[in-house]
Structure 1
Amino acid sequence: MSDRILATYLIETPYPLERAAEVMAGEQSCGTFTRLPSETDALREAHAARVEHIEPLEASYTPSLPIPALQSGKVHPVYRQARVTLSWPLANLGTSLPTLFATLAGNLFELKELSALKLLDLTLPKPFAEAYPGPQFGIAGTRELTGITKRPIIGTIIKPSVGLSPNATAEVVSQLLKGGIDFIKDDELQANSPHNPFKERVDAVMPLIREHAERSGHKVMYAFNITGEADQMRDHHDYVVAAGGSCVMVALNAVGLTGVSQLRRHCQVALHGHRAGWGMFSRSPHLGMSFVAYQKLWRLVGVDHIHVNGLRNKFSEEDASVIASARACLTPMFDPPSPGYEVMPVFSSGQTADQAVDTYSAITSTDLIFCAGGGIMAHPDGIGAGVRSLRQAWEAAMEGIDVNVYAREHTELARALETFHQ
């Protein structure tokens, strides 16, 4: 088993591929633009990044991103793309996650030799699994907390995203509980606002959750959004725990890797990761980071759930990317695999009963949270019918029955397909 860190990138450059790759390796390890007296052969042997592999791809006469002009008089450049894999010795950084991020995704993105750069994947040696706790609950623990053992966990998001008071939020929760929901989450825009203070919201919602659990024997998981300053997040986490809650949520990109890592070590409940801002990394095919690499960092620091968007979603992400993201969450992370690093993908964004069969067909797993906002609350026969329509759609998917055939004997599903079919 290698003790080196590996990262694979998509690059584009007007320079020879080998030269561009060597510039990348030098910039992100012991090299600089010129050889230094202190940069001995022994130091380079011990600490230099290595170019492990170069796979040439297509070429064009137009750069994908702006790039400084080459010296005048040179022929019109060809911009060559390639997959490049670099590796670093663990000795360069140990198991420091902030330094890992600076190494994998630091100054590389500013190199003038590159007209495209995207981090596609990374492979970490086993010491990282020993240094970071990983998910505390993951798939198995989330199923135990919710009592949902085989099918997907059916969830929703409090809407409107902002504007509701604590009591108005509780009214929505009351309807969802009566409708048979499994999971509810705050919107990422609603954390601790003046119109809906966090602790007042917990005080309004948790008595309903507890009363419903006493009546039904089923404790609904509510992901309270605790995104904030580090001390505030710990305080709000503790308030949820004291109230009998089972989940807190953070906006990952807003809090950062070290913020989530500190929270995870303090956390006593499931940690729900929302990837708000993900488009900054992903939307350009020529710049940023793939979800395959991204989710590994958050699994390492210990989120139990992470959003992957959804099929036929309201955003710009294509279905193939969504499915690849979900599969990545369900793929073992270390070699050999480390137990406890499983993370539950969360499907959301314009999801209804209409997407259930295609989602199951694509990932062949029910280890997921399937969140629908309008797909539940806008069902023509009410919230309860919306929840039942989603369960019925997943029943059809899991049993291999055509959803339209199944809908003939399941009114809620039939009405949902009539209403939401795209």
Structure 2
Amino acid sequence: MGERIFASYWLETGDDPQRAAEVIAGEQSSGTFVALPTETPELKRRSGARVERLEVIERVNTPSLPGGMQSDVYTRCALQISWPVENLGPSLPNLMSTIAGNLFELRQVSGLRITDVQLPPSFAEAYPGPAFGIQGTRELAGVSCGPLIGTIIKPSVGLSVEETAQQVRELVAGGIDFIKDDELQADGGYCPFDERVSAVMRVVNEEAGRSGRKAMVAFNLTGDLDQMKRRHDHVLAQGGTCVMVCLNSVGIVGLQAFRQHSQLPIHAHRAGWGYLSRSPHLGWDYAPWQKIWRLAGADHLHVNGLRNKFSESDESVIAAAKAVLAPAMAHKPMPAMPVFSSGQTGLQAEDTYRALGTADLIHTAGGGIFGHPTGVSAGVEALREAWIAAMKHIPLTQHAVTSRPLSQALEFWR
């Protein structure tokens, strides 16, 4: 028996659930809306998708999504479908068309969400996954244990090259581990990419010469493929150790092709994730989505943060981080590093560490660092001390007695 791809869904349908599942399987493989003489039993056995599991969860009276067939009752189910790899080959772009293609538009579907994807070994052979992951990132950043303490250049856009470099100067002098561009910062006329990289890396390299530690800076090089390659080469030439890509902007082919070129860790931003996920009745769970991007080459993946400024719950954030830390495939772990951000301070450190049981992560705080009353260096130290307390299971207020920056931070981390 050949290799198969398995995808799991939450399905809501006004049709008979078994019939709706078969329609989805047919639409996404060898079938169409009318029986054709060329779709022989032999062809269907060879290339047809199979309904592997269908479990009824509950029934409701109104559909979750507009349009489609009308019914007096709508059934919600757990559905798993499988496909032979021979239908598409070990190809991530074609995988997306297969598991997340026209099935969302079917009239039988009044709700559909992808909850899991299981891929066979041929995908791991075709895609190398992250080049650096957790261990490679730690080595380049010089952080052997604990989280990478990080921040984001703010304001998102509008700073000049000189103003950006000055912000970085304060951060690296304060001992920051990780700095990233905002996803909105690209190659604008006010802060051109090449000039920004050269100025920032001059500051980073000078501080590394003094301290012996080089902060990791993730420069946002999102663009077309040739632009990304050229920008990567400039970062590398300036001594940079990380680059950033907005996944939904460059697509799977863009990331995979860039991964083949890159000699640096790829910090993957999920900008636009909300339109894929915010409705519980449509789109993706994070676990299967991030697995595909890890295969394509992402070393770091954003997961939001606890008590964040967005709509995502803490439970969802932790589930996302656990998914990034879990093996991507049973036979090839492809470790990647979760990135916590969005309204973060040291107040989230204890809960984050307790929920994950590990500090293999990047914790980025903007205002939580820059807002410190005695300056950026104290803000960096306060966030680091909060994590030391978390990992030693010491109450934050108790640990603050031994750290003035942390004690002062507790006055504005509210």
- Contact 1:2/1:125 (<8 A) preserved: no
> Which residues in structure 2 correspond to 1:370-409 (within 5 Å)?
370-409=363-402
Query: 1:17 aligned to 2:10?
Result: no
Q: Distance in 1 between matches of 2:91 and 2:69?
A: 37
1:334 to 316, 329, 337: 329
1:67 touches 1:114 (CA, 8 Å); kept in 2?
no
Secondary structure of 1:8's partner?
Answer: strand
Q: Distance in 2 between matches of 1:68 and 1:21?
A: 15
> Does 2:148 align with 1:145?
no
Structure 1 residues 2 and 372: alpha-carbon distance in aligned structure 2, compared to 1, 3 A threshold: farther
- Alpha-carbon distance in 2 for matches of 1:212, 1:270: 21
Instruction: Count matched residues.
Output: 414
Which one of 96, 102, 108 corresponds to residue 101 of structure 1? 96
Match of 1:276, SS?
Answer: coil
The whole-number CA distance in structure 2 between the counterparts of 1:91 and 1:404 is 59
| Cα distance in 2, alignment partners of residues 212 and 85 from structure 1 | 53
Query: By how many angstroms is 1:415 displaced?
Result: 2.0
- Pick one of 175, 182, 185 that aligns with 1:180: 175
Distance 2:216 2:393 in 1: 29
> Residue 3 of structure 1: CA displacement?
1.5
**Aligned partner of residue 318 in structure 2, secondary structure:** helix
Query: Residue 68 of structure 2 contacts residue 110 of structure 2 at CA under 8 Å; is this kept in 1?
Result: no
The alpha carbon displacement at 1:218 in A equals: 0.3
Amino acid at match of 1:342: P
Which amino acid in structure 2 is aligned with residue 47 of structure 1? S
Task: Determine which of 345, 354, 373 is the counterpart of 1:352.
Answer: 345
1:128 alignment counterpart? 123
Confirm whether residue 194 of structure 1 aligns to residue 189 of structure 2: yes
Look up the equivalent residue of 1:328 and give its one-letter code.
A
Unpaired runs of 5+ residues, structure 1, are 71-75
Q: Please state how far the C-alpha of 1:404 moved relative to its aligned partner.
A: 1.7
User: Is the counterpart of residue 157 in structure 1 residue 152 in structure 2?
Assistant: yes
Which contiguous aligned blocks of 4+ residues in structure 1 show a shift greater than 6 angstroms? none
Cα shift at 1:419: 1.0
Q: SS state of the match for residue 215, structure 1?
A: helix
Pick aligned residue for 2:277 from 270, 276, 282: 282
| Alignment-mate amino acid for residue 189 of structure 2 | P
Match of 1:115, SS state, is strand
Q: State the secondary structure of the residue aligned to 2:109.
A: coil
Deviation at 1:2, TM superposition (A): 7.2
Aligned residue identity for 2:52: E
Q: Which residue type is aligned with residue 89 of structure 2?
A: G
CA contact (8 A) 2:2 2:85 kept: no
Matched, 1:253 2:245: no
Matched, 1:208 2:203: yes
2:4 aligned residue: 4
Aligned partners of 1:29 and 1:47 also within 8 Å = yes
TM-score by length of 1: 0.97
Contact 2:69 2:107 in 1 (8 A): no
Cα deviation, residue 263, structure 1: 0.3
CA distance in 1, matches of 2:160, 2:340: 27
Q: Residue 73 of structure 1 aligns with which residue? A: none
Measure how far apart 1:378 and its partner are.
Answer: 0.8
Identity fraction in percent: 57
Q: Over aligned residue pairs, what C-alpha RMSD do you find?
A: 1.1
Aligned residue for 1:68? 68
Structure 2 residue ranges without an equivalent (≥5): none
SS of the equivalent of 1:65 reads coil
